[in-house]
Structure 1
Amino acid sequence: MTEPDQPKVHDLDARSLRGLAHPLRMRLLDALRFGGPATASQLAEKLGESSGATSYHLRQLAAHGFVEDDPERGKGRERWWKAAVQGLRFDDALLRDPSPDVRGAADLYLHEVATAQTQELSTWLGTRAEWSDAWNRSTDMSSFTLRLTPQLASELAHKMHELVDSYRDRTDVEDDPEASTVRVQSRTFPISTD
């Protein structure tokens, strides 16, 4: 059970993964998670899609529990949507599922996550002149190459997650005018040296 002040994390299973593993659905969910509630028309304009497409995919996301109606907004026929989850947890077992459909959805999901992260970094690089010198000095784009066992790689990733989590609920920055939402991306993967 999620505590009231803790973000709701959705554990992806075979059924929900098939409901999410679509490029537009993933973009819609991210738009609602990070941009707040919106209508299908607003999301269509923001994402450069038709409102018919966004409406259809929002209903699919709702059927799988990722988004929901926002009853506090909207008048008459205007339907507002909000994210029902703030985090997603991917189980690597989905990549070994007996069903080729599930494995394909898992592969698509991971590739879309990587694409979205690359686009976010590219956007930052393209707009960094709009940010203060303090923010430009505070960013990091590092790459480290280590020689590890699978167990050590897992331990390293876990420790990095713990460190990031220790910054998640800092209340001392809530009213700080220099504070901004920060994206921290982490990747740990083996490479071939042949």
Structure 2
Amino acid sequence: MPEEHNVRKLDARSLRGLAHPLRMELLNALRRNGPATASMLAERLGESSGATSYHLRQLAAHGFVEDAPEHGKGRERWWRAVDSGIAMDENLYQSPDPAVRGAADLLLHELVNQHTRELSSWLSTRDRWFPRWTDHSMDLSDFTLRLTPERSRELIGKVHELLNSYQAHEAAEDDPDAEQVRLHTHVFPIATDPEELR
């Protein structure tokens, strides 16, 4: 698979450090919206600042976030995400350690929940994007292909390669026509035999 820009490869320790719904939300918020304080994140996520402070410190202990002192004034502590994304070694899904397998399972379920929340949020605010963002610049599609595991890996690699090529030529921060655009990709096998679905 092609090398991805600024992506953190999880090991068993960092996986267990990240596999918590609020930590994943905090990290996602810092990646999408830039540096923030625990209080700002608490207000944005509907949490207490005590909870966000604690989980930010845990994320820092595992190297996911770090101080952003250039944003601080006085005693304010600002945080920023260290990486732009994560990748998980396939061996973690099949670890002999049940705690690691449980953390991998929680992480995957929370990622799916995160994607669902993002889509729901877009659906509830989609009117504000028209007419500039029309059907030609937004997409909700699904495809079903018949592939071997090897061809699936090849497809994923090519999709990632294409996305990385766009990431290398992102619009400037001050471009008034540009917005952050989220892309979700899910490639997984499905059962087609009715007996397998029971």
Q: Is TM-score (shorter-chain normalized) higher than 0.5?
A: yes
1:72 aligns with 2:76: no
Find 1:12's aligned residue among 10, 17, 24: 10
Task: Report the 3-state secondary structure (helix = DSSP H, G, I; strand = E; otherwise coil) of the residue aligned with 1:136.
Answer: coil
Q: Which residue of structure 2 lines up, in the alignment, with residue 121 of structure 1?
A: 119
Q: Which residue of structure 2 lines up, in the alignment, with residue 191 of structure 1?
A: 190
Gaps of 5+ in 1: 1-5
Task: Report the 3-state secondary structure (helix = DSSP H, G, I; strand = E; otherwise coil) of the residue aligned with 2:150.
Answer: helix
Task: Report the 3-state secondary structure (helix = DSSP H, G, I; strand = E; otherwise coil) of the residue aligned with 1:62.
Answer: helix
Q: Deviations over 1:43-74 (max 9, x none)?
A: 10000000110010000000000011111122
State how many pairs are aligned.
188
- Residue identity (%): 62
> Counterpart amino acid of 2:187?
T
Contact 1:29/1:66 (<8 A) preserved: yes
Q: Which residue of structure 1 lines up, in the alignment, with residue 42 of structure 2?
A: 44
Q: Which residue of structure 2 lines up, in the alignment, with residue 182 of structure 1?
A: 181
Distance 1:160 1:85 in 2: 20
> Counterpart amino acid of 2:145?
L
Contact 1:128/1:136 (<8 A) preserved: no
Deviation at 1:160, TM superposition (A): 1.1
Q: Which residue of structure 2 lines up, in the alignment, with residue 166 of structure 1?
A: 165
> Counterpart amino acid of 2:156?
A
Distance 1:79 1:39 in 2: 6
Distance 2:130 2:175 in 1: 15
1:22 aligns with 2:20: yes
Higher relative contact order (CA 8 A, sep 6+): 2
1:83 aligns with 2:81: yes
Deviation at 1:92, TM superposition (A): 1.6
Gaps of 5+ in 2: none
Deviation at 1:7, TM superposition (A): 4.5
The structure-2 alpha-carbon separation of the partners of 1:106 and 1:81, relative to structure 1 and needing over 3 Å to count, comes to same
Deviation at 1:123, TM superposition (A): 1.0
The structure-2 alpha-carbon separation of the partners of 1:96 and 1:180, relative to structure 1 and needing over 3 Å to count, comes to same
Normalising by structure 1, report the TM-score: 0.92
Q: Deviations over 1:98-138 (max 9, x none)?
A: 10000000010011111101111111111110002231321
Q: Which residue of structure 2 lines up, in the alignment, with residue 59 of structure 1?
A: 57
Contact 2:67/2:80 (<8 A) preserved: yes
Q: Which residue of structure 1 lines up, in the alignment, with residue 100 of structure 2?
A: 102
**4+ residue runs of structure 1 moved beyond 6 angstroms?**
none
Q: Deviations over 1:144-176 (max 9, x none)?
A: 1111111111111111111111111215x3254
Distance 2:74 2:90 in 1: 43
Q: Which residue of structure 1 lines up, in the alignment, with residue 139 of structure 2?
A: 140
